[in-house]
Amino acid sequence: MDRQRENLSELISDDLLTQCIHCGICLSVCPTYDITKLERSSPRGRIRLIKAFANNEISLGKLFEDEMSFCLGCRACETACPAGVQYENLHQKTKHILNKGRKFSVQKIALKYFLNKILTSSAKLKSFSRMLFYYQKSWLRKFLHSTSLLKNIFSKLFLMDELSPQISDVASDELIDEISLPENEQKYNVAFHVGCIMNVAFAEINIDTIEVLKKSGCKIYTPINQNCCGALHAHNGELNTAKGLAKSNIDLFEKFGYEYLISNSAGCGAFMKEYVELFNEDKRYTEKAEKFSSKVKDISEFITENDINLKYKRTDERVTYHDACHLVHGQGVFKQPREIINSLPGISYNELNDSTRCCGSAGIYNILRQEDSMLFLDQKMENIIDTNADIVLTGNPGCLLQLRYGVKKYNKNINIKHIVSFVNSTTKNEKKN
C-alpha cells in the first residue's frame, strides 16, 4: 500500500492534484454523477479520493477501486472545468497504480493479456481476428444464438459477443498502398494511421478515408508495420505499454515527410495528440512527441480547416450526429462534423439532445461494466429515437459498435455510420477523364 502511495506521488505532481477549486461545475455534465447523485461518483469527488489517498488519509479499498472503474473516462468534466483540471491524466495514472498492486480476476487477466500481448503486435492481432472471423461465420455462433443458450446461461459473454466488431474479410493495410496518389492536382502531403481495431474490423472505413483524402488532393503515406496508438492501454492503466507503442509510432512516422497525420478514430486521435504527456521523464522523446502530435488531425478537422472542395451529390436523408467523447472533449472537435453535414445538399439535420454525452462504449467499459454501460446506452437511444433520424453519424469505432447494438436492442431501422463513409458515399469522384 505504501509502495503504491509512493508510486502515485512519483507519477502525479502536486500541481495536478491541487488544480481543482471545488466549484462543482463539472457535476452537471458527469454521466456517473447523474445516475448516482453521489459526490464520490463525480469528477470532484474522485479527485478528492485520489488526493486523500496521496495524503495518507485513506487506504485503497473496494470503494476507491470501484469509483475509478465506474468513471467512463469520457472527459466531459474537462470541457466543463473552468480551472483546466487535467482529469484524464490524473485518472489514467491512478488506474496505472491500481493495476500494479491489484489481485486480478480471470476477466482482468484475459484483458491484460489481450492488451499487452495481442494488441501490441499487428501480426498477432491479425491471427486473433482471423479466429474471431471464422467463429463469427460459423454454425456454432448461429447455433448458440438461435437456441438462446449463450444468452440465458452466460449473459455477459453473450453481450460481449453482440458488442464485438464484425471482423473484415481483409485487413485494410493489405488493401491500401503505402503511397496513394490524389485523384487530381496534389495539394497536401498527409500520412494515415490505420489503427488496430480499425484495421482489422473497420477496413471499409479506412478505405473510405483514403478515398476522401484522394478526392481532397492528398498524397497519402500509409506506412506498413504501424502499431496501435496505445490509447486503450493508457485508459486501462497500462502506461508502460502505451509508452512503448507511442515510441514505435513516433519513430516510424518520422521517416516520412508529411504535413498532417490523419486519424479517423476519436480515441486514437485524442491520444496521439497528447503523446507528450507520456514522456515527461524521457527528454529524448519529448521534442519528437511534440512534433508528432502537432500534426495529428481528425479527418473532419482536415476537411473543414483546409482548402478542400469536395463535390457533393444531393442526398435526401434525415441525419443526426453523436459526438464521440474523445473527439468533442478530448480534441475540442464539435463544429467541424456539423459543418460538413450541413454543407451536404438536400440533407435534413436534426441536432441530437445531449449529443456530447457518452454512449457508454468508452473504450472497453461496455465489456468491463456491462450493466452501467447499458444505462448510458439507453439514455442515448431515447434521444436518438426522438430525432426521427434515419442515419446517425459519428467518428469513433467504439461508438459505432455501441450504437449499432442499441439499434438492435430497440429494434429500430436506423443506420449507424462513420461520418467519413457518409462523406465518401455522397461525394463524386474527382478524376478527370
Query: Which one, of 77, 79, 92, 98, lies nearest residue 31 by Cα?
Result: 77
Residues that bind ligand SF4 (CB under 6 A): 20-26, 29-32, 43-44, 46, 71-77, 80-81, 83, 85, 87
Least distance between ligand SF4 and beta carbon 13 (Å): 16
- Give the nearest distance from C-beta 365 to ligand SF4 in angstroms: 10
* Ordered DSSP codes for 323-387: --HHHHHHH---HHHHHHHHTSTT-EE-PPTTTTS--S-TTTHHHHSHHHHHHHHHHHHHHHHHH
Nearer residue to ligand SF4 within complex by CB, 30 or 276: 30
Q: How far is the CB of 18 from ligand SF4 (least distance, A)?
A: 10
Question: Would you list the DSSP string of 126-180?
Answer: HHHHHHHHHHHHSHHHHHHHHHTHHHHH-HHHHHHHHHSPPPPSS-GGGTS-SEE
The minimum distance between CB 90 and ligand SF4, in angstroms, equals 10
Residues whose CB is less than 8 angstroms from the CB of residue 173 and which lie 6 or more positions away in sequence, other chains included: 122, 194, 199, 222, 224, 226
CA dist 271 and 249 (Å) reads 12
Torsion of CA 78, 59, 95, 273, to 10 degrees: 40
Other Cβ atoms within 10 Å of 141 Cβ, number: 14
Taking each helix axis from N to C end, the angle separating 139-147 and 122-137, rounded to the nearest 10 degrees, works out to: 60
Q: Which is nearer to ligand SF4, 71 or 262 (CB)?
A: 71
Nearer to ligand SF4, 69 or 427 (CB): 69
In angstroms, what is the minimal distance from the CB of 200 to ligand SF4?
28
Measured distance CA(26)–CA(22) in Å, rounded: 9
Nearer to ligand SF4, 24 or 101 (CB): 24
CA atoms within 13 A on the CB side of 286: 4
Tell me the closest approach of the beta carbon of residue 50 to ligand SF4, in angstroms.
11
Least CB distance from residue 88 to ligand SF4, whole Å?
A: 7
Which CB sits closer to ligand SF4, 29 or 200? 29
Q: In angstroms, give the least distance from the CB of 254 to ligand SF4.
A: 32
Smaller CB distance to ligand SF4: residue 269 or 360?
360
| CB-nearer residue toward ligand SF4: 85 or 198 | 85
How far apart are CB 19 and ligand SF4 at their closest, in Å? 7
Instruction: Please list, in sequence order, all residues whose beta carbon lies within 8 angstroms of the beta carbon of residue 322, skipping any fewer than 6 positions away.
Output: 352, 355, 359, 380, 384, 392, 393, 394, 399, 403
In a 3-state reduction of DSSP, which class is residue 265? coil
Please identify, using beta-carbon distances, which residue of 28 and 343 lies nearer to ligand SF4: 28
Measured from the CB atom, is 250 or 333 closer to ligand SF4?
333
Report how far residue 170's alpha carbon sits from residue 190's, in angstroms, rounded to the nearest whole number. 24
